[in-house]
Amino acid sequence: MSKMFRLAPAAAAILTTVALTGNAFAAAGNCGHASWYALHSKTASGERMDPSKLTAAHRSLKFGTKVKVTNARTGKSVTVRINDRGPFIRGRVIDVSKAAARHLGMVGSGVAKVCYTVVS
């Protein structure tokens, strides 16, 4: 015998939002692996890489774009500014600075499954 239950409107809205957000990530292709780097050389934008800043490399987003990156395993997030090009390894969607990796909880592992969204 099947039992039916009814969700409160607020709970239903939250579940719908979570489901749509997950599908939007997958549909947009904004999920994959991230790695981190900590160099002091010039970035593709011409500025010097500073591992203590919240920056990242992306293949095509405009320099200066702000991106919210979320570690899919832990749920930890950080907003970074795109200032470099990369990553150039298959399956990786973004490379973040060491400071950003620290916020995401991925310094020890070196890589993490992430999803990202453009925030500005």
Band of residue 100 on the pLDDT scale cut at 50, 70, 90: very high
Per-residue pLDDT tens for 18-32? 444 444 444 446 999
pLDDT above 60: residue 11: no
pLDDT at 29: 62
Query: How far apart, in whole angstroms, are the C-alpha atoms of residue 35 and residue 27?
Result: 22
Q: How far apart are CA 57 and CA 44, in angstroms?
A: 9
Q: Which CATH architecture has domain 30-118?
A: Beta Barrel (2.40)
Say how far apart CA 18 and CA 112 lie, in whole Å.
21
Query: Rounded CA gap, 95 and 81, in Å?
Result: 11
pTM for this entry: 0.75
In this prediction, residues 95-112 reach a mean pLDDT of 96
Structure tokens at 57: 């490399």
Nearest CA to 29 out of 55, 58, 56 is that of 58
